[in-house]
Amino acid sequence: MTENQTSNPLSEETTKDVKNLVAPAAIQTNQNYIKIGDKFSKTFFVFSYPRYLSGGWFSPLINLSKLFDVSLFVHPVDTAFALRSLRRRAAQVEAEITDRQDKGFVRDPMLETAFNDIESLRDNLQQAQERLFDVSVYVTIYADSLEKIQELEDQIVNMFESKLVYVKPAIFQQLEGFVSTLPLGQDKLGIHSPLNSGPVSSFFPFVSMDLTSESGILYGINLHNNGLVIFDRFSLENANQVVFAKSGSGKSYATKLEILRTLMMGTDILVIDPENEYKNLCDTVGGTYFKISLTSDQHINPFDIPIVPTGEDPGDVFKSHILTLTGLLKIMLGSITVEEESLLDRALTETYASYDITPENPNFLTMDPPLLSDLETVLRNMEGGKTLAERLYKFTQGSYAGFVNQRTNIDVKNRLVVFSIRDLEDELRPVAMYVVLNFIWNLVRSQLKRRILVIDEAWVMMKYQEGASFLYGLAKRGRKYYLGLTTITQEVEDFMNSPYGKPIVTNSSLQLLLKQSPATIDVVKKTFALTEAEKNLLLEAAVGQGLFFAGLKHVAMQVVASYFEDKIVTTKPQQLLGEEKDLI
């Protein structure tokens, strides 16, 4: 073996064998199509563009779920040559305008617009703000028959023409067109259109976001390309998610599917359920279901001392707990003055001190906490506190006495824990959500563990400043404790009108937008910077369809469940009644 043969391990015969293996057995050419083996193909070229190309206009073609190839050739044009050509063209157009004026003809707006465009482009080229390019766009489609080729051709031509972009088949040059769309970088057709930098940038083809990853759960089907949307929310900078949709569009359905699939990945789930929608799911997977109501046997004492996380100062945790209780009392009492707030802070400290619970006592974490009725007693004996005590009466001895004035008797050692507040009066719901959220937050801080907290109908909390502030704190601080917060709401406007609403959205790396009502679509469009096409999609979306945002990526998605998953998570009355009839 010679030295030359040694340096080139692939001989000519080997190269020929590879080519023969890759190349088709034969190609049959025709004036407007070619046949490659058993496949038919047809190539088109773009020959005309509108005056203005909007960003992303190419995406409908890129995302078309058909078999086709697209080649985009961008050939830079020398700026000096472009300026000379534009100067000649500007002189021609100006001469034509002058000639029409001399003959007394009515002015031609098209000529005037063309002249202004040429002059504007000349200025931009001269100032190096733009470059000029010769651009070629070729599309080759494939099908099993000429009828299928014609169907696909009609679809693609209509898609282009809807953008005022016009294409033609490469008549008698189909073989050259086919080669031009192969990944060889050879422009055999050589059909160019002069375009400057702005329009060329609108061709950017990487708009079909692929949200299929190696880990995570299935969220749905990508409507752009029929791919799977598989994602791990904990792979982003935070695991928070917001779900906005009108009633009946599938927001709770999608969330329950996520819960069911996330449980299989080893993540713990905590849910605040305002309408008993999660009970069937909870019972099916063996979760714990707590019913919070005035007559319930299950209680949470908001005065419980939180577990101190490792490395944190017990005194700081205690002071933070006092502030949290103050926020709860503000919701319970309604509006209070600055003096009353100061009085409450002192009364809370004295209530705990009556049980010998102070930061100075090293054993205060193991002692039994007080109740709300103890705070009422302290307030009655404080100067200026009698009015506040009277306002707390209904929660301690009045009609709401059995709600927040009891010792904690629930255990949350389960993979799925659901807190139901359906049977509570509307006035008590924000109080209950605050108490439960505080209880969950103390649980989350006590042990670092991968968890997701789902808050359905979160707008209830957003109506109150203290509740909205607490929710914002969860969204902002949850990442440090491996917590992902999911907030679900149909009252988008109420949510966004809160000063904490938008920060919660911006602190959520995932967003799921399903069908929206015309009354709120403008708020949603502005908040998420949606395009006009995305806005129309959300207005016309079917149940379970919408937009899924994951960081900077977003796709149109259809939520899909298997037969057995649907039986577990559905809340459609007609389906539930049908199942009950089957049981009878």
Domain boundary among the residues 391, 407, 423 is at 407
Same domain, yes or no: 140 and 270: no
Kindly provide the b/e burial profile for residues 154-182, where b requires at least 16 CB atoms within 10 angstroms of the residue's own CB.
eebbeebeeeebebebbeebbbbbbbbbe
The angle formed by the CA atoms of residues 560, 563 and 565, to the nearest 5 degrees, is 70
pLDDT at 514: 92
Question: Using an 8 Å Cβ cutoff, are 213 and 231 in contact?
Answer: yes
Same domain, yes or no: 395 and 428: no
CA distance linking residue 513 with residue 524, whole number of Å: 9
pLDDT at 453: 92
- Give residue 267's domain range: 236-292+413-584
Domain boundary among the residues 201, 220, 254 is at 201
Residue position matching structure tokens 């030359």? 4
pLDDT at 583: 42
pLDDT at 490: 82
Same domain, yes or no: 382 and 483: no
Same domain, yes or no: 264 and 190: no
Confirm whether 118 is domain-assigned.
Answer: no
Query: What's this model's pTM, rounded to 2 decimal places?
Result: 0.62
Residue 304 sits at φ, ψ, to 5 deg, of -60, 135
Residue 577 is encoded by which pair of tokens?
A: 């009644």
* Residue 400: closest CA among 273, 272, 295: 295
Task: Identify the CATH number of the domain in which residue 155 sits.
Answer: 3.30.70
- The DSSP bridge partners found for residue 264 are none
Question: What's the whole-number average pLDDT of the chain?
Answer: 83
Same domain, yes or no: 444 and 568: yes
Same domain, yes or no: 363 and 500: no
CA distance linking residue 242 with residue 546, whole number of Å: 13
**Concatenated DSSP letters of 160-186:** HHTTT-EEEE-TT-HHHHHHHTSTT--
Burial of 469 (C-beta count, 10 Å sphere; 0-12/13-18/19+) = middle
Segments of the chain with pLDDT less than 70 = 1-16, 55-56, 63, 204-212, 572-584
Please write the tens of the pLDDT for every residue from 396-452. 888 787 778 888 888 778 889 998 888 877 778 788 878 888 888 888 888 888 999
Same domain, yes or no: 287 and 348: no
Please write the tens of the pLDDT for every residue from 198-244. 788 777 655 445 666 778 899 998 887 777 888 888 988 889 999 99
**Concatenated DSSP letters of 531-572:** -HHHHHHHHHPPTTEEEEEETTEEEEEE----HHHHHHH---
Same domain, yes or no: 425 and 570: yes
Question: Using an 8 Å Cβ cutoff, are 302 and 438 in contact?
Answer: yes
Residue 399 is encoded by which pair of tokens?
A: 């009609």
Confirm whether 531 is domain-assigned.
Answer: yes
At 509, the amino acid letter reads S
